[in-house]
């Protein structure tokens, strides 16, 4: 499927709604604009297999360029607007991007990042900061398809939470441009997505999952309602206003919605929802249970990464029988191994790996690519977990975040899951810091709830709470308080920043 088919069959149907901008885009218009952009990409010399880089906020340009790159056989490298000009410059060079197109508000940042290169640079709508307008040039191109259409895909960069961002590259699809992707098939078979879907996009579209889901829904003929940025109360308002049927979230979004005033939650009409999907981080069991109690048995979960070397999935009924699990494998074959790549039996904790999944490589980094696969050919995304006798995966934490204190392995995610549901905690991150005697000790960095002050008394209260629920070994003995924690707009915790602050020599 491709948006071109929907432009023919339902041209007046809305493909996009951007309520924060007061904008709408139907399939006819999306088709014409994406064709014009595809023609201009060719005119600028881009051929099949080349890379076009985008520095976009959540605007219509994401979908126009996305559809154009997909039909022109290009790799789309979407870059976060929240990183430094130096990081953007690194990605541009590493990706071999032929051109860079920026949302108007990011034109100055793009120019700074691109300053040392002769790579062509464009602002999307208007000429800004001396940067020419892409839309003005594209408007002169034909609204019909290019003559040499072929399927493209993305080459996205990891967020860099454990080091330099890595470009994750897949072979270009060799089928027709309207061939169903594996993500579209997943949305259709697991979540009932299709032409009648009204999908709420809650996160920045420069990240892998939000970008891929939003583009997939449009290709299926559904309508995407795009939020500029996540806001808990606004989310409930949009669900009711647009009769949202599907939406994707991260656990942090759930926590923020659950902490809304009870009267706000009670009056929200969420009856249109058919399937709500969350991923990106393990969801604390009490949070997931609270969402099921509120929204009913429609809350689904999957575990994957930008590499998509494997995917697990679990539905709401299954989860109630297996609370805390992220499901069974639906892509690849799940394996748990020790550090010597030996398979471990059910119940034992080890490296989460996938066999027989889609192959990927880290762009221009054969060493990292080789490190992603063990001697058996199993691919890992760096997580630790266990599988039960029925094949259900339970995640423990990122391997790189594990704390070893007195020879005992301590997993921060378990402590974070415990403390995040405390009523006086708005957000929390747990890291290990050096200890002369124990090797490492546990530090909890806490963002207190609104109206709560981070004091020694609060630290004592939280330590007692953790001790009660987790035992003395895992309970943090040290606390630091912050007005907010470093999270990406998706809700993903940038724990590396805290490690750099509290372990400057790590």
310-394 shares its CATH topology with 402-502: no
Q: What pLDDT shows up at residue 436?
A: 65
Element (H, E) at 168: strand 167-169
Query: CB count, 10 Å around CB of 52?
Result: 24
Has residue 336 got a pLDDT over 50? yes
pLDDT for position 453: 93
* Whole-prediction pTM: 0.83
Domain ranges of the chain: 3-163+174-219, 310-394, 402-502
Give the confidence band of 49 by pLDDT, cuts at 50, 70, 90: very high
Question: Out of 167-171, 207-211, 259-263, 277-281, which region has the weakest mean confidence (pLDDT)?
Answer: 277-281
Q: Give me the torsion for CA of 213, 218, 224, 228, rounded to 10°.
A: 60
**Residue-wise pLDDT tens digits, 16-36:** 999 999 999 999 999 999 999
Rg (CA), the chain: 23
| Segment 355-414, tens digit of pLDDT | 988 888 899 989 888 888 999 999 988 888 999 999 999 987 676 677 767 656 677 888
Return the closest-CA partner of residue 63 out of 74, 76, 50: 76
pLDDT, tens digit, for every residue of 59-74?
999 999 999 999 999 9
119 burial via Cβ count (<10 Å: 0-12, 13-18, 19+): middle
Pairing between β-strand 299-303 and β-strand 311-314 as defined by DSSP bridges: antiparallel
Written as six digits, the tokens of 18 are 């951007």
150-179 per-position pLDDT tens digit: 999 999 997 654 457 889 999 999 999 999
Q: Grade residue 136 by pLDDT with cuts at 50, 70 and 90.
A: very high
The residue ranking higher by pLDDT, 317 or 404, is 317
| Percent of the chain scoring above 70 in pLDDT | 95
Four-CA torsion 253, 254, 256, 261, nearest 10 degrees: 140
User: What is the CATH code for 402-502?
Assistant: 3.30.300.30
Instruction: Answer yes or no: is pLDDT of 99 > 80.
Output: yes
User: Class assignment of domain 3-163+174-219?
Assistant: alpha beta
Higher per-residue pLDDT: 285 or 239:
239
Task: Please state, rounded to an integer, the average pLDDT across all residues of the chain.
Answer: 91
Query: Any residues with CB less than 8 A from the CB of 285 and at least 6 apart, and which?
Result: 323, 324, 417
Percent of the chain with pLDDT over 90: 71
Span 467-483, average pLDDT:
87
- What is the architecture of the domain spanning 310-394? Roll (2.30)
- Arithmetic mean of pLDDT, 315-344: 94
Q: Is the pLDDT confidence value at 312 over 50?
A: yes
Half-sphere exposure of residue 309: CA atoms within 13 angstroms, side-chain side:
24
102-111, 160-169, 186-195: least confident range: 160-169
Q: What's residue 161's pLDDT?
A: 44
């Amino acid at each position: 499927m491709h948006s071109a088919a929907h432009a023919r069959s339902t041209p007046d149907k809305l493909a996009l709604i951007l309520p924060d901008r007061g904008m709408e885009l139907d399939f006819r218009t999306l088709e014409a604009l994406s064709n014009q952009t595809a023609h201009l990409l060719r005119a600028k010399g881009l051929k099949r297999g080349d890379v076009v880089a985008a520095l976009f906020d959540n605007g219509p340009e994401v979908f126009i360029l996305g559809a154009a790159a997909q039909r022109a056989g290009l790799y789309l490298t979407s870059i976060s607007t929240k990183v430094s000009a130096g990081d953007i410059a690194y990605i541009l060079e590493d990706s071999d991007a032929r051109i860079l197109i920026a949302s108007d508000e990011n034109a100055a940042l793009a120019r700074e990042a691109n300053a040392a290169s002769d790579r062509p640079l464009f602002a999307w709508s208007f000429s800004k900061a001396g940067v020419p307008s892409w839309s003005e040039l594209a408007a002169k191109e034909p609204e019909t398809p290019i003559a040499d259409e072929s399927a493209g895909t993305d080459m996205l960069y990891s967020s860099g939470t454990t080091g330099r961002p890595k470009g994750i590259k897949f072979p270009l699809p060799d089928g027709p441009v309207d061939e169903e992707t594996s993500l579209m098939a997943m949305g259709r078979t697991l979540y009932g997505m299709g032409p009648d879907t009204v999908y709420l996009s809650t996160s920045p579209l420069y990240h892998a999952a939000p970008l891929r889901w939003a583009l997939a829904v449009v290709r299926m003929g559904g309508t995407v309602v795009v939020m500029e940025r996540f806001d808990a109360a606004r989310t409930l308002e949009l669900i009711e206003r647009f009769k949202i049927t599907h939406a994707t979230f991260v656990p942090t979004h759930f926590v923020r919605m659950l902490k809304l005033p009870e009267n706000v939650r009670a009056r929200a009409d969420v009856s249109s929802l058919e399937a709500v999907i969350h991923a990106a981080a393990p969801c604390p069991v009490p949070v997931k249970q609270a969402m099921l109690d509120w929204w009913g048995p429609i809350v689904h979960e999957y575990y994957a990464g930008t590499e998509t070397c494997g995917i697990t999935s679990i539905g709401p009924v299954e989860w109630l029988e297996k609370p805390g699990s992220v499901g069974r494998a639906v892509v690849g074959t799940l394996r748990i191994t020790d550090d010597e790549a030996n398979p471990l039996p059910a119940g034992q904790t080890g490296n989460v790996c996938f066999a027989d999944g889609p192959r990927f490589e880290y762009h221009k980094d054969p060493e990292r690519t080789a490190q992603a696969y063990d001697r058996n050919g199993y691919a890992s995304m760096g997580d630790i977990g266990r599988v039960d006798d029925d094949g259900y995966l339970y995640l423990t934490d990122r391997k790189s975040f594990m704390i070893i204190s007195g020879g005992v392995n301590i997993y921060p995610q378990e402590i974070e899951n415990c403390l995040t549901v405390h009523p006086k905690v708005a957000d929390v991150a747990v890291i290990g810091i050096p200890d002369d005697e124990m090797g490492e000790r546990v530090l909890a960095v806490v963002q207190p709830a609104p109206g709560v002050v981070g004091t020694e008394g609060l630290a004592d209260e939280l330590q007692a709470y953790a001790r009660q629920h987790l035992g003395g070994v895992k309970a943090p003995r040290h606390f630091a308080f912050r007005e907010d924690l470093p999270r990406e707009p998706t809700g993903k915790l940038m724990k590396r920043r805290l490690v750099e602050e509290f372990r400057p020599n790590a």
